[in-house]
Amino acid sequence: MELDQAETAALLAALELQIAWGADEALEEAPQDRTRARAPAAAVPAALPAAAPAARAAPSRPTPVLAPAAAFAPASRRAGELAAGADSLETLRAALAALEHPLRETAGNLVLADGVADSGLVLVGEAPGADEDRQGKPFVGVSGRLLDRMLASIGVERARNAYLTNILPWRPPGNRTPTDAEMNVFTPFVLRHLALVRPRHIVLLGGTAAKALLRRNEGITRLRGKWHSLEVPGLGPVPTLATLHPAYLLRQPAAKREAWTDLRLLRRALDGAPIP
Ligand code: URA
Q: Which domains does the chain have, with CATH numbers?
A: 72-97+104-270 (3.40.470.10)
Measured in Å, residue 229 CA sits from the centre of ligand 1 at 23
The helix-helix angle for 5-20 and 142-152 (nearest 10°) equals: 120
Q: Evaluate whether 225 touches 261 at the Cβ level (below 8 Å).
A: yes
**Nearest to residue 190, comparing CAs of 213, 216, 223, 207?**
213
Q: Evaluate whether 168 touches 101 at the Cβ level (below 8 Å).
A: no
Task: Tell me the pairing of strands 113-115 and 121-125.
Answer: unpaired
Q: Is 128 in the pocket of ligand 1 (CB under 6 A)?
A: yes
pLDDT at 51: 37
**Nearest to residue 165, comparing CAs of 200, 209, 212, 113?**
113
Q: Is 139 in the pocket of ligand 1 (CB under 6 A)?
A: yes
Q: How far is CA 71 from CA 26, 77, 211, 224, 267, in A?
A: 45, 16, 13, 20, 28
The helix-helix angle for 77-84 and 89-98 (nearest 10°) equals: 160
Measured in Å, residue 54 CA sits from the centre of ligand 1 at 29
Regions of the chain short of the pLDDT cut 70: 1, 6, 9-10, 13-75
pLDDT at 236: 98
- CA–CA distance, 107 with 129 (Å, rounded to integer): 10
Most ligand 1 atoms within 8 A of CB, residue of 126, 140, 176 to mutate: 126
Measured in Å, residue 127 CA sits from the centre of ligand 1 at 5
Measured in Å, residue 174 CA sits from the centre of ligand 1 at 13
Q: How far is CA 125 from CA 32, 97, 129, 205, 261, in A?
A: 40, 19, 11, 5, 19
Against a cut of 0.85, is the pTM above it? Answer: no
Q: Is 248 in the pocket of ligand 1 (CB under 6 A)?
A: no
Most ligand 1 atoms within 8 A of CB, residue of 143, 211, 244 to mutate: 143
SS3 of 62, please? coil
Closest C-alpha residue for ligand 1 atom 7: 139
Measured in Å, residue 126 CA sits from the centre of ligand 1 at 6
Q: Evaluate whether 201 touches 272 at the Cβ level (below 8 Å).
A: no
SS3 of 219, please? coil
